Structure 1
Amino acid sequence: MKFKWEGVMPAMTTKFTADDSLDLPAFKHNLRAQLNAGVHGVILGGSLGEASTLSQDELQLLLRETVAEVGDSIPVISTIATGSTRNALLFARQARDCGASGLMVLPPMRYKATEREILQFFESIAKETDLPVMIYNNPVDYQIGVSISMFETLLKYDNIQAVKESTRDISNITRIKNEFGDRLKILCGVDTLALESLLMGADGWVAGLVCAFPAETVAIYELVRAGRTTEALELYRWFLPLLELDINPQLVQNIKLAEVATGLGTEHVRLPRLPLSGEERIRVERIIKKAMANKPELPDYKKYLQS
């Protein structure tokens, strides 16, 4: 499936039952809400999807079920997050076999690789697959960054097409645009910098709180794209306390609690994660409750949806 690296792409949470099995009905309920809101793609198996606790069989099942549900309406992106190049190549082949439209690839995990090793890792995957690739650049959380000079090397591969920009340096968007133009698409990977990133020229938003608030998230993107910046800013100001739940070590628990509040999920997480408790739970519930009580009426953003 050919597609553009543009728009809102939810980093989907993985739904579990009380007995720790995949909860496919709950997952599909959320997925249909994303589709109805007008998201432009979905990403499976990322950090928010608790990928480190999923087996490859579970991830492949989620991929197949998602592809079957969405058909050709939007792209389905599979995440590769592993410390082994051999496993990365295997996962790329499996993702393609399951019908994935593209890959989001993290640098080698659990090993602080050298620049030469990082380049070889990404290049090996690009050579292995014909799927389009988005590189996840998050030096804050993963202590490994992909520099402009590294991208210059990587962009000799036509299927390396996008970056999930999570450096927290808003000027890096301009830096990338100045250097590569539209050759490297930029998707913001930090919820609290989404509006700023879009205004600076980012092509899309890999979002987290979209899992609980799909319409509000897509509305911000579409309003910016339509030049209705003032309305987007008003909505974003309301949204920001919720978006800050994404830049937190307990982002999975936070967002799943928000999904419960909006009727789009359950609170079940997979060990070693535990549901929020104590003062932190009270704090997060207060943020969600306040946002829900002051939820704005959305403009008719769907008339701007990309075909």
Structure 2
Amino acid sequence: MKFEWKGVMPAVTTKFTNEDTLDLDLFQVNIKAQLEAGVHGIVLGGTLGEASTLTEAEKRTLTQETVKMVNGKVPVLINIAEQSTKGAIAAAHHAEEDGASGLMMLPPMRYKASDEETVEYFKAVATNTSLPIMVYNNPVDYKIEVTQAMFDELLKCDNIEAVKESTRDISNVTRIKNNFGDRLKIMCGVDTLALESLLMGADGWIAGLVCAFPAETVAIYELQKAGRIQEAIEIYRWFLPLLELDINPKLVQNIKLAEVATGIGSETVRAPRLRLSGKEREEVLKIINDGVKSRPQLPDYKNL
């Protein structure tokens, strides 16, 4: 399936059983909820997907099973977060074999590559796959920034098509539009800047709290796209305390706890992560419960 870089694409959590194996039955419950809400794609194996704890076999199983679950309704994208260029190329080949429609790519992991090394890393993968690529630009968490000058070089590769913009600098949306027009599609990667980014011209939203609140997330996107900005703002204001759970070192535990509250997930995480406990858990639960109790009534956003 051809990837269209637009709309809401959940960076889904990976579901585990109490025996620490993939819980594909519960995973399907969540994917079904996302599809019913009208999401525009599925992103696997990102930070929220606990990618660093997944084996190669588990990543391949997730890709293959998700492709079956969505059954052509939306594209499926798999994240590549590898330590070597060789490993990243192999992961891209596996993604193609397993039916993925596109790739989200982080810079090299662990090693703080130079600008030149980072560019060559992305280009090596791009020239070894036919899949479209979205560069995940998150210098806050991953310590490497993909600059505008680096994108000048990267965009010589036709299949590098988008950026997951997570620099936390909202003005970068305008810089990218000024420098690259529609050649580089922009997907906001920070929940707490999503509506602002969309209003400034971002094409879509790689979302986190959508894992627990899919309808509200898609409604914000569709409303702003239809020009019903005030309605989008009202939902976004309700959503913000929940969205702030995404910009936290324990975003995985936070969002999985929210999935429990909305009936489409479990708290189970993979070690070394542990479930939230004590005062921290109480504080997060209060935010979640307050949000659930005050969920807004949504307009018919699917038919705008």
Per the shorter chain, which TM-score range? over 0.9
SS of residue matched to 1:128 = coil
Letter in 2 for 1:188: C
| Alignment match, 1:204 | 204
Letter in 1 for 2:213: F
The superposition leaves residues 184-214 of structure 1 with CA deviations (integer Å, 9 ceiling, x where unpaired) of: 0000000000000000000000000000000
| Alignment match, 1:244 | 244
SS of residue matched to 2:127 = helix
Q: Identity of paired residues, percent?
A: 67
Structure 1: runs of 5+ lacking an equivalent: none
Kept after mapping to 1: 8 A contact 2:64/2:99: yes
- d(CA) in 2 for partners of 1:2, 1:277: 43
Show the 5 A alignment for 1:1-307: 1-304=1-304
Structure 2: runs of 5+ lacking an equivalent: none
The superposition leaves residues 28-67 of structure 1 with CA deviations (integer Å, 9 ceiling, x where unpaired) of: 0000000000000000000100010000100100100000
Kept after mapping to 1: 8 A contact 2:3/2:102: no
- d(CA) in 2 for partners of 1:39, 1:170: 23
Q: CA deviation at 1:275?
A: 0.2
Root-mean-square deviation over aligned CA pairs: 0.5
- d(CA) in 1 for partners of 2:24, 2:52: 19
Letter in 2 for 1:217: T
Q: CA deviation at 1:72?
A: 1.5
- d(CA) in 2 for partners of 1:161, 1:247: 26
SS of residue matched to 1:264 = coil
Kept after mapping to 1: 8 A contact 2:188/2:205: yes
The superposition leaves residues 271-303 of structure 1 with CA deviations (integer Å, 9 ceiling, x where unpaired) of: 000000011100000000111111110011010
Kept after mapping to 1: 8 A contact 2:3/2:132: no
SS of residue matched to 1:281 = helix
SS of residue matched to 2:77 = strand
The superposition leaves residues 85-131 of structure 1 with CA deviations (integer Å, 9 ceiling, x where unpaired) of: 11000000000000000000000011110011001100000000010
SS of residue matched to 1:273 = coil
Q: CA deviation at 1:3?
A: 2.6
- d(CA) in 2 for partners of 1:179, 1:107: 22
The superposition leaves residues 219-245 of structure 1 with CA deviations (integer Å, 9 ceiling, x where unpaired) of: 000000000000000000000000000
- d(CA) in 2 for partners of 1:21, 1:161: 34
Letter in 2 for 1:197: S
- d(CA) in 2 for partners of 1:138, 1:295: 30
- d(CA) in 1 for partners of 2:57, 2:185: 31
Give the TM-score, by structure 1 length: 0.98
The superposition leaves residues 152-202 of structure 1 with CA deviations (integer Å, 9 ceiling, x where unpaired) of: 000011100000000000000000000000000000000000000000000
Letter in 2 for 1:140: V
Give the TM-score, by structure 2 length: 0.99
- d(CA) in 2 for partners of 1:23, 1:93: 25
- d(CA) in 1 for partners of 2:58, 2:166: 27
Letter in 2 for 1:115: D
